[in-house]
Amino acid sequence: MDYSLCYGYRYNVSGRDTLLNVHFCAVSGSADCVSESYQTTQGEEFCNVFRPFLRGQNLFSFYFGLDSVSPAYKTKNGASGRIQRKNETIAAVLVLRANYCHEIC
């Protein structure tokens, strides 16, 4: 990946307890990563842009993970501790091609 270009992705996360974890990591010998987590987007699609954090030509990789967190139980609210069903845990990710930073999203 070239430092002069940016890389991005669009995402949409559904489910009250769904968590999308995104890691943008340098592959070339170091364990440097930028990590972000997103909860439900309420049906909206969002875009995020990364610029490589090492100058020159370097190898980077995106890693995406989908988790379901346990809901907190609140007294006097029976629905608060309900476990999310597997069919309610949905995420869509579209990785975008390299482009100039202001033209990606």
- Comparing 50 with 74, the larger pLDDT belongs to 50
- Identify which of 8, 31, 11, 30 has the alpha carbon closest to the alpha carbon of residue 21: 11
List b or e across 2-22, with b for residues whose CB sees 16 or more CB atoms inside 10 angstroms: eeeebbbbebbbebebbbbeb
Domains of the chain by residue range: 7-71+83-96
User: Residue 93 pairs with which residues in a beta bridge?
Assistant: 11
Residues 30 and 20: their CA atoms lie apart, in Å, by 24
Residues 61, 31: contact at Cβ < 8 Å? no
pLDDT cut 70: percent of the chain above it: 79
Element housing 10 (H / E): strand 7-14
Cα(91)–Cα(15) distance, rounded to whole angstroms? Answer: 9
When pLDDT is cut at 50, 70 and 90, the band that residue 89 belongs to is: low
Top-confidence residue, 70 or 63: 63
Tens of pLDDT, residue by residue over 13-53, are 988 788 899 998 888 766 788 899 998 888 899 999 988 88
The Cα 4–Cα 11 span in angstroms is: 24
Tens of pLDDT, residue by residue over 3-13, are: 788 899 999 99
